[in-house]
Amino acid sequence: MKERHLIALDLDGTLLTDEKVISPKTKETVLRAMDEGHIVVIATGRPHRASINYYHELGLQTPMVNFNGALIHHPTDHKWDALHSPMSVRTAHQIIEACQNLGVRNILAEVKDEVYLDQYDEEIMSIFQTKNDPIHVGQLQANLKSDPTSILIHPEESKISLLRSQLDEHAELIDHRKWGAPYHVIEIVKSGLSKAVGLEKISRYFDIPENRIIAFGDEDNDLEMLDYAGVGVAMGNAINELKDVANHITLTNEEDGIGEFLSDYLNLNKKAM
């Protein structure tokens, strides 16, 4: 009998193609792994509302990590011990003021699935997949009154380095990550949070040791998760920093990297003995 593994999948640039879909081959391989008893979870920087469709497409019934670890919950079992770790609204307002002083294009704050956008912008609403969701548009300093799960900053590309250096001054309060291309977005969550925090909680729940945790990613918000997993796998399109900490490098998200790796590593093309 094969040993059961916990498989953690990042979404953008990893499970999803550049067209934001799961390729047929990767989907078939992930489903085969589940059929053989392996546990599949999604671990993403996206909010619940922008990841739940992929969760249902794979037929998952497992916990999910959203907002880079700021929300760890179970979409189909509300009795599961969820963990929501927002930053304080006071900290959020300090960050918002600092970003506005720098002159960023826009700022979006999320309280779980409730969305607050500083300035109306069709493009950014499309990027963050909030166009059809209830959204509060207007001055964040006045509208945001609850502790936010995350803050998303949309700066000019030329200001990213300066912005991140200024955010480092708040390192005791927040962690910040950069999204991959084509989105020049900085995501901010409470300090100490990462996908690894969620993966550790889920692995304890299923009693899966670290050496049987397989994690896939492509960006700097996957660093801790791949470092924590016994089998950290960087996509072929991953940033170099992630490839440096990974145990393995697979093909790109456009080349069915997840499917190729799982088929080989878990011997999915062979019948279980």
Number of separate helices (H) and strands (E) present in the chain? 10, 14
207: annotated active-site residue: no
Q: What are the beta bridge partners of residue 176?
A: 188
Catalytic residue among 10, 12, 218, 222: 10
Burial class (CB in 10 A: 0-12, 13-18, 19+), 253: buried
The reply to whether omega before 148 is within 30° of 0 (cis) is no
Cα angle 49-67-249, degrees, rounded to a multiple of 5: 105
What is the bridge-based pairing of β-strands 39-42 and 248-249? unpaired
- H-type alpha helices, 6-84: 24-35, 52-57
**201 φ/ψ angles, rounded to the nearest 5 degrees:** -60, -45
Q: What are the beta bridge partners of residue 15?
A: none
Positions of E strands within the chain: 6-9, 39-42, 64-66, 71-73, 83-84, 106-111, 114-117, 135-137, 150-154, 174-178, 186-190, 213-217, 231-234, 248-249
Residues annotated as catalytic are 10
